Copies of this chain bind each other. A is one copy, B any other.
């Protein structure tokens, strides 16, 4: 992989001058076309060995193009806000919006490689990290991100020479510390890890480009040419030319049975019993929210359901049990301009809570496979790939101390009709019923199919769906509270005794 890069590539000054002027003009043009076009962002990953000109290249890109539309991010030690979220959170918050160029100085590949070299990461975890990276990059490409990955390389001899020459110059001496020399001593180990890493994370959509780093002019022109060609190619594509992935058809059930129809929607619960149960479970939830283990965990609760199924009421029975300081309601409506300029999941990632916090989603990322699918707001390819992306997202939450609970509140068509009518009558419920609700109702069967597919494809061990029979609101609310408590107890390793714990 590095054979060609190990050669002593050079570019003479005169040739460089000629090419630089042209490259510069063309890159600037491409950048302005990107801004006009506004259909996709460019994300440039800068990786590779120390001393191979990564920083210099980033500065050069900022000099060649208009720095106003380039955002550079480096990723040093994570902040506490970042440490309390899944590792990918910090990259999501730094993604460039459509029409802009983002430069990531190091990214999601850095930690796995370093940890593998120093032996902190075993084979299996490393393999799982690589698989996560592949999924992430595939998702970004599918979302239209032009992902360009440059790996700056030096041969062992070149790196040694480079470090020595940096050390000799008083102006650059600071760049060479013991850490750089320690890494240099591990040169061969790095190569042994990096080579297969680059191979396994090079894909058709986002291959690694190995850049020989020894000669400043040569590496500048190499990156410049490649960047220009890649941007030009995408910019000159006709809109809609990118063929959507072939999507496997969803299995049609051969009978009339599905997970929703199998539910007994009417579940009796009397008002008196409800009140007692409500007290009991709200008390337990409250205790659990104050469990010491919650300091290292957070909760993401997703509410989906038929219109008028009682999502709001169920959510309020949860928040009513919690201190207002520990929860946030996220009501999912139309995305804002900043959200529309980002990959689909961006607007949910930004709400991932810190430790000790509950994020309660009234509708969620599942909109993609429900309303957007049924109303054809996105292409079939888009909602088909969403199942996998959503699973990856929730997996990443679950793996990183986020307790994920998901509820589908189901009511019958007749019950929905009665509730719609009632809402139209009661003054303070009137805001809850719109023409859209009546329109959605006409597509009942299409929604039912979408819900069943959703449950089949996204109910996972880490983030299972709970189907809630909601014709009786009392039953629904208690089931939601109970399920949430059970999930918390399991995650916190808290037995039922938690509710009875004495004041410390």
Give residues in A with beta carbon < 8 Å to B.
21, 24-25, 28, 32, 55, 58-59, 62-63, 66-72, 74, 76, 79-81, 103, 105, 170-171, 173-174, 283, 286-287, 290, 312, 315-316, 319-320, 323-329, 331, 333, 336-338, 354, 362, 427-428, 431, 500, 503
Contacts and interface: CB of A to CB of B under 8 A. Distances in A.
A68 B336 CA distance: 15
A500 B173 CA distance: 11
A23 to B, nearest CB: 10
Nearest to A76: B325
A184 B363 CA distance: 43
Contacts of A320: 59, 63
Nearest to A25: B428
A503 B79 contact: no
A362 B68 contact: yes
Contact of A80 (B79, B286, B500): B79
A32 B431 CA distance: 8
Closest 4 CB pairs of A and B: A68-B331, A74-B325, A337-B337, A25-B428
A324 B58 contact: yes
Contact of A79 (B24, B71, B81): B81
23 contacts: A21-B428, A24-B428, A28-B428, A32-B431, A55-B323, A55-B324, A59-B319, A59-B320, A66-B431, A67-B315, A67-B319, A69-B331, A72-B324, A79-B79, A79-B80, A79-B81, A80-B81, A105-B324, A173-B503, A174-B287, A174-B503, A336-B336, A338-B338
Q: Which of A28, A62, A63, A325 has the most B CB atoms < 10 Å from its CB?
A: A325
Given A25-B427, A79-B79, 14 more contacts: A32-B431, A58-B324, A62-B329, A67-B316, A67-B362, A68-B329, A68-B362, A76-B325, A81-B81, A171-B283, A171-B286, A173-B503, A336-B337, A338-B338
Contacts of A503: 173-174
Contacts of A428: 21, 24-25, 28
Contacts of A324: 55, 58-59, 62, 72, 74, 103, 105
A500 B315 CA distance: 63
Contacts of A81: 79-81
Contacts of A427: 25
A67 B329 contact: yes
Nearest to A97: B336
Contacts of A62: 316, 319, 324, 329
Q: Which of A68, A170, A324, A329 has the most B CB atoms < 10 Å from its CB?
A: A324
Nearest to A106: B325
A303 B346 CA distance: 32
A24 B428 CA distance: 7
B55 A316 contact: no
Given A173-B503, A316-B63, A320-B59, A72 B337 contact: no
A362 B102 CA distance: 18
A62 B323 CA distance: 12
A170 B72 CA distance: 53
Q: Which of A58, A68, A500 has the most B CB atoms < 10 Å from its CB?
A: A68
A287 B336 CA distance: 42
Nearest to A174: B290
B72 A328 contact: yes
Nearest to A329: B67
Contact of A67 (B66, B79, B331): B331
A328 B63 contact: no
A316 B67 CA distance: 9
A222 to B, nearest CB: 18
Contacts of A319: 59, 62, 67
Nearest to A316: B63
